[in-house]
Amino acid sequence: MKLYCPEEECGIFGIFGHPEAANLTYLGLYALQHRGQESCGIVSSDGASLHAHKGMGLVADVFGNQEIFKQLPGEGAIGHVRYSTTGSSVIKNVQPIMVDYSRGSIAVAHNGNIVNAQIIKDELEAWGSIFQTTMDTEIIVHLLATSKTSSLLERIADALQRIRGAYCLLFQTETRMIAVRDPHGYRPLCLGKLGNAYVVASESCALDLIEAEFIREIEPGEIVEITKNGMTSHFPFKKVAPAPCIFEFVYFARPDSTIFGKNVYLVRKELGRQLAREFRIEADMVIPVPDSGVPAAMGYAEESGIPFELGLIRNHYVGRTFIEPQQAIRHFGVKIKLNPVRELIKGKRVIVIDDSIVRGTTSRKIVKMVRNAGASEVHVLISSPPTSYPCYYGIDTPNRKELISSSHTVDEIRRYITADSLGYLTPEGLTQAVGTENTSYCRACFTGDYPIKFPQLRPEPQLGLFEKES
């Protein structure tokens, strides 16, 4: 059994101008492992050619042999950790994608999701393109290769003019690294420096691990080119309203990262404080669902004056799959990951704080586990509004009919998870906690208001596409 929670599909890391580029990229990916545990890969450049190593599994497993790094020479490298949102979980879909085309070799790593991918793929296939993967990322490579423009920067910009959706991209050629963030800036991407080398990463925690200096976030719609001559910045896209993903603060990003100008840990504590202002509950203790619920529970405890306790202990050594015993054990999937401290909980009124409820099945098992440990009352508080709509911008959430809050009231959900009370942070409270100075965050998973509209039906290929471009 898999405990369901939303999954971020990937993280990207790159460094240019350092003699240990591949080794440092390995460490960067290690810091970003929370963004994807399915597969990983690194492509390095020695100035004349590209070298790759990719595999299924965790970073430490795929790159567990030191001899691998002898096959990844050079002063430039990009890497990727993946959890699939488009394309199946197979070796051919492991990134970075590396190809040879008329202008040389190029590799690309992608974080996000292209909402018009199938339409473009149909058009390209109608004109004879052959795809080697089932990922939307490969479409970018085909568009780049078939662009009629001259320089690589122009080709990348031209290709991305066709793309609709969320993307942070890292390109690696023999002589340069290029980073791109989509005009809406859905996903985080930051720029750092280590000595004379430039570093790009999905989150600042990856810079911290290798002791790189955080310079700034890459701006929405910005293309950053890094060569031996230094860094240049370009803004080729039409300016649109930013829409950074607010759920990065709620769940996805590591708490020690700074994204969208704010520290994630401090935001999550403020989410908890705001919960305490909105829900005054008589209780003996506040316990988090680890790990993402911990800062919010601490904030709630500080604001309410109710003691914070680690009433649920997490086993950090659980893999993604395991063998279940033949004899049935109730709530086995939850119990292998979490275990209550009975002596602490017995006879107490407990507030359980989590970041979200998706299908509700895991919350139901946690509430029953806490109650079976002897709690006299179990109150559940969620540090975000109800997740009622799927994400189409790079998060693996179920379709809408599987999201419990899309078709059930709060009281119906409370009864299903068997809690004494249930409360969600209000949308206004979320805005207040994250910061009112920027109200343009993407909240589509809460509201259904998608900043980029997406095609519902797959039209016939437009065979005149390239004729119009020529």
Per the CB < 8 A criterion, the answer to whether 276 and 304 are in contact is yes
Question: How many Å is the maximal CA-CA distance in the chain?
Answer: 75
Q: Is 445 annotated as a binding residue?
A: yes
End-to-end CA distance of the chain: 53
Residue in the block written with tokens 């401290």: 341
Q: Is 5 annotated as a binding residue?
A: no
Cα 239 to Cα 258: distance, rounded to the nearest angstrom:
24
Least Cα distance to 10 among 133, 169, 147, 245 occurs for 169
Three-state DSSP state, 319: coil
**Measured distance CA(153)–CA(156) in Å, rounded:** 5
Give the CA count within 13 Å in the CB-facing half-sphere of 216: 6
201 touches 16 (CB < 8 A): no
Distance from C-alpha of 265 to C-alpha of 253, rounded to nearest angstrom: 9
CA 62 to chain centre: 20
Provide the CB-side half-sphere exposure for 283 (13 A, CA): 29
Q: Which residues of 326-355 are buried (b: 16+ CB within 10 A; e: fewer)?
A: eeeeebebbebbbebeeebbeebbbbbbbb
What six digits make up the tokens of 231? 């860094």
Please provide residue 343's backbone torsions phi and psi, each rounded to the nearest 5 degrees.
-60, -25
Q: Please pick, among 10, 40, 168, 205, the residue that the annotation labels catalytic.
A: 10
Give the C-alpha separation, 81 to 108, whole Å: 13
Neighbours of 402 (CB within 10 A): 14
Structure tokens at 148: 């009629």
**Is 355 labelled as part of a ligand binding site?**
yes
Gap between the Cα atoms of 261 and 305, Å rounded: 29
- State the Cα–Cα distance between residues 470 and 462, nearest whole angstrom: 15
Task: Characterize the bridge pairing of strands 190-194 and 197-201.
Answer: antiparallel
Cα distances (angstroms) measured from residue 166 to each of 59, 93, 201, 407? 24, 18, 16, 27
What are the backbone dihedrals phi and psi of residue 464, each rounded to the nearest 5 degrees, phi first?
-90, 10
Active site residue 5: no
CA 358, 363, 369 angle in degrees (round to 5)?
165
- As a whole number of angstroms, the distance between CA 114 and CA 74 comes to 31
The DSSP bridge partners found for residue 286 are 308, 351
Q: Show which residues are catalytic.
A: 10
The binding site consists of: 245, 292, 354-355, 391, 442, 445
Specify binding-site residues for [4Fe-4S] cluster. 245, 391, 442, 445
Binding residues for Mg(2+): 292, 354-355
